[in-house]
Structure 1
Amino acid sequence: MARKHTDRLESGDGSHHPGPPRFVTVGEGFVNPNGDEMETRDELAPWNLDRNPDGEYTWHVADVPEGSTATPTDAPIAEFVPDVSGEYTFVLEAPDGEHELTVRAFPQQEAEGEQPRPQVRLEVTTNADQDRTQNRNQERVQFEATAQLADDAAAGDEKPDTDLTVEFYTDDWNALELDGQNSVSRAALESLERPARVYAVAVTDDGRYSIPDAVEVWVGSGAGDADDAVGIAERSDIHVERPFEPPSWVEDAIVYEIFTRRFPDQEDPTFETIADRIDHLADLGVDVLWLTPMLETDRGFGTPDSQGGPHGYHTDDYLRVDPDLGTMADFEALVDACHDHDIRVVFDLVINHTGDTHPFYEAAVDDSHPEHERYRDWYRWKNFAERDADTYFGWEGIPNLDHSNPAVRAYLLDVIDFWAPLVDGFRTDVAWGVPLGFWTEVADRLRRYDAKFFLLDETIPSDVEMGGGRFHMHHDDVLHDTLESVAAAAVAADGGGAADAGRGEEEGNGDGEERKRDDEGGNGDGEAKAKADGAHNDTDTEDAVVDTFSDMSVDAIDGASAILDAVSERARRGAHPDSEWLLYVENHDTDRFLAEHGRDAQQAAAAATFTLPGSPMLYYGQETGLTERREPMNWDGFDTAVLEYYRNLLDLRQSVPALQRAAALERVPYEAGTKYAVAYARDASAVHQIVDQTGVEDGPQRVLVVLNFSPEPTTVRVNERISGPDLLSGAQVVSESDGDESEWDWAVTVDSAVVLESEGSATE
């Protein structure tokens, strides 16, 4: 391995300063209670607790808005609920001195979630950009921001009757202040020991506020690649970076998730046999391998299906791989094999909970254990006397860690320090259960260690607060559930059975077995849509989990156009402009789309994930015809027709600029024979007109995508100037509309998905 896992990492400036300014809502603030399975948690905490978890830390408020009487709790990791909107200044007294923290509290909203949330983009220029003769000593850096509401784009000239303002903040650990024009002198930047970070927050007139955007600025020699993106002149040695941007390798990545103990050859399922199968991923064109947990666990090989199979989400040792899979050297060899194929590796980080067989938990519940007094406070308890741990949804085998304990945070930072040099990113399980402030520190810590390190969160429903300085990418559960809803409605409307729609009698899972629903499959890790874990199989609890997790879709009453509404939801909820989205039709916690909705609907849904903005993900066996959630990979029985379809999808995604990240998504007028068909365009031409053309891939700059979730073919009519064969199948599917009476110029015949080169609207 090129990187070593021996050095301790550090967060922020290396001190116990509690991080960047915080933005909260009156009446909510920073709270981390037991229960409340779906509520976002947060706290005020010192950073770098791994240096001194046993030190004395106290909080007090130095300045509050007029009328406020709120105070923080008396704990090293404190809770605080603001009672008045305005700006608060906190002081943390730590072993290394006093540290100030700015907290901005915004008014509580009466109808939260109904109105769109603003978005903001921070830009940077210097006066040298306008005046090339400017003396560098007089050079100033100007911060400007563009704010918008999601409705702005849809409303055209009819803008919402809402005023937007922008507030600017700087990190409290730098003695940097902006002037009244939101600028700073070159001299002020030169006086700083560390880069200065500036934040912008957009605010509506009724107090709705955006996820903050940020830039880092410093004076140095040579200009970085990031400078051009934020407007700094090439002649300047003032550097600017966007700390919330994802690594460049993530932006158009195709992700492949494997269920670690069911993907390799089943006669010898080890890291080595996974490595032997990496050629399959490379041949597909996969960029990122997401490994479900492979640490020591009591949910490894031999775990029955009634407990979710060998999923590994009940961790027994955070620093040791499962010996049944191999050694640490074997794991590192697997990572090397992936890197040899230009595939990056994402580690499934599970730090919301441990398994109930973890030594820490065993010590916590055993009065006679020599470490009992230490570890009893590492977990959250409903009733400690009865050893009733706080868990989610009755999943009794996974007690929640108490992140309000400095020792827990210190230990988890050590875990992160250990694994970060060995992998390329973390996918964080049950990320919503860990306080936001801790994720802020983790993201800062990892970025300072390796700016190319990648962070993917699991929050259900996806939480836009996880963006903007915490995670680069979010599971797009809204799109996933909308695809499920549209497919189910389409199959039901056709009158066919969901399980068999669109599939011939011979179209099984590749090994001759009949499809059978994994009705007893446990969720295993806090994500599953249907089943509680382990022996806890109370029907009421299971139904509650289903109701909570499976109702995230956009209303599909109008049919397949709902998938475009699902994409629009990202901006309406105020997602950070740099947030990426993981697009999937199934994963280890869902039933297989093919089994539930049939081949045509599966192909349409998969095409949506590969042609809509975001990063497509394949769950192992999705491309080979598997029909059960966590069954072994069918290495000797691929469904070759399904595999060929997915090969074409991946090739298309990687070769067509119009399907990649920078391309715009456009709604287009269309007429379809069923409401379960939808058409839309992706257009990269505007982007490529304003950037250097060097290295831009040949291929269509604009395409029309047509999807059909119905089991039967349909015709979709459009006014796009489309030409050529279907880029996905090579078939001729376009015909000119008959006569002059039709208002539509072209007709497209579509079974499940069609992608066509387009020159734009025929009516322009």
Structure 2
Amino acid sequence: MQHPGPPRFIAVGESLQLSPRDPDPEVSYQWHVERAPESSTVELPSEDPVVEFTPDTPGTFQVGVETPANNYSLTIRVFPGSLAPVTAPGSESGSGGVSGHQSGSARPVARSAGVSGSGSGIRDDTVERGRPRIQLQGDIEEDELVIKANPQTQPDGETAHSDIEVEFLIDDRDDVSPDVVSTTDREMRIPIEAVGRRVRVHAVAVTDVYSVPDSVEFNRDPQPDGGEAIVDTTTPSTDTDIDTQPDTCEDDDGQTGTHNHAINIRRLNEPPEWATDVTVYEIYVRGFVDEAEADTDTDTDTDSTFAALTERLDYLADLGVDCLWLTPVLQNDHAPHGYNITDFFHIASDLGDSEAYESFVDAAHDRGMTVLFDLVLNHSARDHPFYQDAVGNPDSPYHDWYAWRSESEPETYFEWEYIANWNFQNLEVRRHLLDVVDKWMAVADGFRCDMAWAVPNSFWRELRDRVKTRDPEFLLLDETIPYIADFHGGMFDMHFDTTLYSTLREVGRGHADATEILDAIDQRKAVGFPPHAAFMLYAENHDETRYIVECGENAAMAVAGALFTLPGVPMLYGGQEMGQRGRRDALAWDDAREEIYTQYQRLITLRNDISALGVDGSIHSLNHTVVDNEETSVDSERVVAYERRADNESYVCILNFGETPATVTITETNTTTHEDAAESSEPTTVNVNPENLVTGESAASAEGLVVDNVGVFAVTTESNHN
């Protein structure tokens, strides 16, 4: 189906890239504006298959694309420019731009007219503002599908909750008449009898800025051969059987069939459940095993690097790791990191072959591990045969595959001299890369998407729909620095927590107060990430100096505690658990630090065993005092304390980034709560069991709890503070 996808939400002053999906480069596509506000003069270049839409006035636009198979319409809801979010740079076109270019829908519209007035209202301020957030829930009540919105005001915002406006939008790809839909401020209702195979509903919250959209799907899951309906049990979902007469309906491929009804409700932007419970481990494939372990001469019958990696899986299983991120494994220009790819369809010969790679993945699966494939889509190596044919040759069939800075110099970022950026305006490039996605998603459980900020948002939206249609549990993790909230709007499931990473570095170096770690967690909400967004927590990776080198050994032990006790999904970079000091050196297995390994192993076990430490646990800052005495003297700025709660259990976590043990007293809960914590009540005294669950030893002293670097303590009782 070549429909350009879910409709969009943007504001005047923002632009949007539009492209037919699943394109055939051999045919023509024509874009045009079908409907626009009366004052608009926007036109689209009708002969270009990939176009930029830049609205000139608020209102509802409908654009169309003519394809060989059909004509498709796409609704674009445009807000006044004054409602545009001020965020970090993103990429709608693949060549920079402003994030906030969203996908949504716009049939029917349910909101007051107060925000959609005349004039562009383009913002003239550059101060970053907080954004409201929204989460949709689907339900079935009698003979209606019900979509309920839970909007939230931005932190420190002046808008009352009752004044948040919600705009519901039905997907253009779904055949539902606006005449049968009813809406209120917080709710949309659709008669079941008016719905075909499925209906997708999108919504945003609007205050003085619009939110990242959320989406929910009702799917009858028909079988075109007339077989019994299959209910998708993707979590979270609500499965409801509805007894009706069989209907005839058409699926996305134009096939028709008779089916029974079994309606599945799925929140489309929810991360896969498995992905929020894992510990991720990055394997730098050309350094994790040494040459003595892997004979990479594929002309012989000896082992490959992948076979050697397989031999290390039991070590990782014993550590507690259950998700592996491999740095790129495709044919490349021999740079050891592997990101300069010369062949996107074949495994690098120095690592093995496709059979060896797939055997490794199977072995990981046998141990209950998932595997993330490092997907590099922004560029190819300059040694790629397409680039070699194109450079200096305007007549090359591949010349237009690349973006060019000059006749002989390709576009790239940061003056990187070994890569060349793809031209995503070219349908052949998009087709080529979609085929890459199809090939490798079949032998992975998720993609770690390299340089996600540099690839057009329109391509990520298509990629997401493409892989999620085939496997709703497939994980999409974006590398975007700094993170961008809009990337959770129909593009990615999980995000590198770049803000927390930077804060952990500053705290480790002694340049920031340890309590700023909690501010970093709050920042997710402030920039507009919805409550269901997932974050990967990391302190180092293959691009960064090792934390232990930059911040010292005790800070490195403390940061381990941060990764496994803060809300998010922890990630270790290979060797971090053994005290490795070289960034990309071969791992020094013989010099592994047992005490560091034990620290990580215990923390992984704790997070697995205690639900409050996971992504669903709330987090609350704690008032605490660092005691200054002869035995323990640590600056209070080096210590942070917080409480994690879930399932009627609470745990106090203390991190000490100082060089010596800290004696800490917990006085009461702070009235400030963090990241989706419940409404704050009166302060309460916190009583804890003095056993440090990380060490298994008592931390009790006459003056408080003594913490070397990480302490996790069970809360025994809480009483109102009088």
TM-score (norm 2): 0.82
- SS in structure 1 at match of 2:321: coil
Provide, for residues 622-667 of structure 1, a one-character-per-residue CA deviation record: whole Å limited to 9, x for no partner: 0011111111111222111111111111111111121112111112
Superposed, 1:371-450 pairs within 5 Å as 372-384=395-407, 387-450=408-471
Identity percentage of aligned residues: 39
Provide, for residues 193-236 of structure 1, a one-character-per-residue CA deviation record: whole Å limited to 9, x for no partner: x32111111111x3x11111111113465765458756969999
Partner of 1:238: 263
Superposed, 1:128-277 pairs within 5 Å as 128=142, 139-151=143-155, 163-178=163-178, 179-181=181-183, 182-189=188-195, 192=196, 194-204=197-207, 206=208, 208-219=209-220, 225=233, 237-269=262-294, 270-277=305-312
Provide, for residues 652-685 of structure 1, a one-character-per-residue CA deviation record: whole Å limited to 9, x for no partner: 1111121112111112222235112110011002
Counterpart residue identity of residue 184, structure 1: I
Partner of 1:38: none
Question: Structure 2 stretches of 5 or more lacking a match?
Answer: 83-122, 222-228, 244-260, 295-304, 628-635, 668-685
Partner of 1:44: 18
Q: Is the 8 A contact 1:223 1:234 kept in 2?
A: no
- SS in structure 2 at match of 1:585: coil
Question: Is 1:84 aligned to 2:20, yes or no?
Answer: no
Partner of 1:715: 663
Partner of 2:42: 70
| Counterpart-to-counterpart distance in 1, 2:2 and 2:610 | 48
| Counterpart-to-counterpart distance in 2, 1:749 and 1:28 | 53
Distance apart, 1:468 and its partner CA:
2.8
Match of 1:454 among 475, 479, 486: 475
| Counterpart-to-counterpart distance in 2, 1:467 and 1:415 | 23
Q: Is the 8 A contact 1:120 1:147 kept in 2?
A: yes
Moved more, 212-221 or 630-639: 212-221
Q: Is the 8 A contact 2:235 2:273 kept in 1?
A: no
Partner of 1:596: 550
Distance apart, 1:366 and its partner CA:
4.8
Q: Is the 8 A contact 2:236 2:266 kept in 1?
A: no
Distance apart, 1:60 and its partner CA:
1.0
Q: Label 1:234 to 1:761 Cα distance change in 2 as closer, same or farther (>3 A).
A: farther
Q: Is the 8 A contact 2:332 2:381 kept in 1?
A: yes
Counterpart residue identity of residue 276, structure 1: E
- SS in structure 1 at match of 2:463: helix
Match of 2:650 among 692, 702, 726: 702
- SS in structure 2 at match of 1:728: coil
Q: Label 1:222 to 1:397 Cα distance change in 2 as closer, same or farther (>3 A).
A: closer
Q: Is the 8 A contact 2:200 2:218 kept in 1?
A: yes
Q: Is the 8 A contact 1:150 1:572 kept in 2?
A: yes
| Counterpart-to-counterpart distance in 2, 1:340 and 1:732 | 38
Distance apart, 1:714 and its partner CA:
1.7
Q: Is the 8 A contact 1:171 1:197 kept in 2?
A: yes
Distance apart, 1:73 and its partner CA:
3.8
Provide, for residues 517-558 of structure 1, a one-character-per-residue CA deviation record: whole Å limited to 9, x for no partner: xxxxxxxxxxxxxxxxxxxxxxxxxxxxxxxxxxxxxxx3xx
Partner of 2:693: 727
| Counterpart-to-counterpart distance in 1, 2:80 and 2:625 | 45
Partner of 1:467: 488
Match of 1:565 among 510, 519, 529: 519
TM-score (norm 1): 0.77
Q: Is the 8 A contact 1:246 1:578 kept in 2?
A: yes
| Counterpart-to-counterpart distance in 1, 2:129 and 2:240 | 35
- SS in structure 2 at match of 1:669: strand
Partner of 1:57: 29
Question: Is 1:322 aligned to 2:279, yes or no?
Answer: no
Question: Structure 1 stretches of 5 or more lacking a match?
Answer: 1-14, 31-42, 129-138, 301-309, 491-555, 687-700, 738-746
How many equivalent pairs are there?
Answer: 613
Question: Is 1:749 aligned to 2:703, yes or no?
Answer: no
Q: Label 1:488 to 1:297 Cα distance change in 2 as closer, same or farther (>3 A).
A: same
| Counterpart-to-counterpart distance in 1, 2:572 and 2:338 | 20
| Counterpart-to-counterpart distance in 2, 1:262 and 1:391 | 27
Partner of 2:503: 482
Superposed, 1:519-538 pairs within 5 Å as none
Q: Is the 8 A contact 1:595 1:627 kept in 2?
A: yes
Distance apart, 1:285 and its partner CA:
1.1
RMSD (CA atoms): 2.1
Q: Label 1:218 to 1:336 Cα distance change in 2 as closer, same or farther (>3 A).
A: closer
| Counterpart-to-counterpart distance in 1, 2:21 and 2:547 | 43
Q: Is the 8 A contact 1:124 1:231 kept in 2?
A: no
Q: Label 1:407 to 1:485 Cα distance change in 2 as closer, same or farther (>3 A).
A: same
Q: Is the 8 A contact 1:226 1:242 kept in 2?
A: no
Q: Is the 8 A contact 2:239 2:264 kept in 1?
A: no
| Counterpart-to-counterpart distance in 2, 1:662 and 1:481 | 23
| Counterpart-to-counterpart distance in 1, 2:614 and 2:11 | 36
Q: Label 1:197 to 1:230 Cα distance change in 2 as closer, same or farther (>3 A).
A: same
Q: Label 1:714 to 1:367 Cα distance change in 2 as closer, same or farther (>3 A).
A: same
Q: Label 1:260 to 1:439 Cα distance change in 2 as closer, same or farther (>3 A).
A: same
Question: Is 1:278 aligned to 2:313, yes or no?
Answer: yes
| Counterpart-to-counterpart distance in 1, 2:200 and 2:558 | 44
Q: Is the 8 A contact 1:124 1:232 kept in 2?
A: no
- SS in structure 2 at match of 1:668: strand
Q: Is the 8 A contact 1:381 1:390 kept in 2?
A: yes
| Counterpart-to-counterpart distance in 2, 1:341 and 1:127 | 42
| Counterpart-to-counterpart distance in 1, 2:160 and 2:140 | 32
Q: Label 1:105 to 1:423 Cα distance change in 2 as closer, same or farther (>3 A).
A: same
Provide, for residues 312-335 of structure 1, a one-character-per-residue CA deviation record: whole Å limited to 9, x for no partner: 110010011111111111111111
Moved more, 73-82 or 330-339: 73-82
| Counterpart-to-counterpart distance in 2, 1:472 and 1:234 | 31
| Counterpart-to-counterpart distance in 2, 1:654 and 1:166 | 38
- Larger fraction in strand: 2
Q: Label 1:437 to 1:237 Cα distance change in 2 as closer, same or farther (>3 A).
A: same
| Counterpart-to-counterpart distance in 2, 1:226 and 1:250 | 13
Distance apart, 1:118 and its partner CA:
1.0
| Counterpart-to-counterpart distance in 1, 2:528 and 2:329 | 35
- SS in structure 2 at match of 1:47: coil
Counterpart residue identity of residue 202, structure 2: Y
Counterpart residue identity of residue 727, structure 1: L
Distance apart, 1:760 and its partner CA:
5.5
Q: Is the 8 A contact 2:405 2:411 kept in 1?
A: yes
Moved more, 177-186 or 587-596: 177-186
| Counterpart-to-counterpart distance in 1, 2:218 and 2:264 | 6
Counterpart residue identity of residue 339, structure 1: H
- SS in structure 2 at match of 1:299: coil
Question: Is 1:351 aligned to 2:354, yes or no?
Answer: no
- SS in structure 2 at match of 1:600: helix
Distance apart, 1:71 and its partner CA:
2.2
Distance apart, 1:469 and its partner CA:
1.9
Distance apart, 1:417 and its partner CA:
0.7
Counterpart residue identity of residue 292, structure 1: T
Distance apart, 1:268 and its partner CA:
3.9
Provide, for residues 669-725 of structure 1, a one-character-per-residue CA deviation record: whole Å limited to 9, x for no partner: 222351121100110025xxxxxxxxxxxxxx2110001111122222213110141
- SS in structure 2 at match of 1:209: coil
